[in-house]
């Protein structure tokens, strides 16, 4: 099917459609871009690997912020408030989770 005027035809490969699980995101920025590293922390593992890095222009980063706010609002209307730790900027679990002392 050919896209209509003003429409964008977006393709999603099977590999990308599977997604990559992440339980930590680290965000940094310069004057010209925002960098979001998505990381998966696994229990009992002393290091974590960046699974995906997304680089955004500042305008696109702000659009992403608005899109996330809108979608979180819709999610919470349907499913109730999302509970987070007292400090939303800390990882949701201790860095030494999985047993043992921190």
- pLDDT tens digits for range 56-86: 999 999 999 999 999 999 999 999 999 887 7
38 contact partners, CB below 8 Å, separation of at least 6: 20, 22, 24, 25, 50, 51, 52, 53, 54
Record the tokens describing residue 23, joined without a space. 């339980």
Name the H helices within the chain. 14-17, 58-79
Mind listing the pLDDT tens digit for each residue in 7-34? 999 999 999 999 999 999 999 999 999 9
Q: What is the pTM of this model?
A: 0.72
């Amino acid at each position: 099917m050919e896209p209509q005027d003003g429409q964008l035809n977006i393709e999603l490969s099977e590999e990308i459609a599977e997604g990559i699980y992440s339980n930590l995101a680290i965000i940094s920025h310069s004057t010209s871009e925002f960098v979001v590293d998505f990381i998966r922390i696994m229990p009992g593992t002393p290091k974590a690997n960046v699974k995906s890095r997304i680089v955004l222009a500042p305008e696109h980063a702000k659009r992403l912020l608005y899109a996330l706010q809108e979608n979180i609002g819709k999610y919470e209307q349907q499913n109730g408030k999302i509970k987070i730790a007292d400090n939303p900027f800390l990882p949701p679990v201790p860095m030494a989770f999985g047993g043992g002392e921190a």
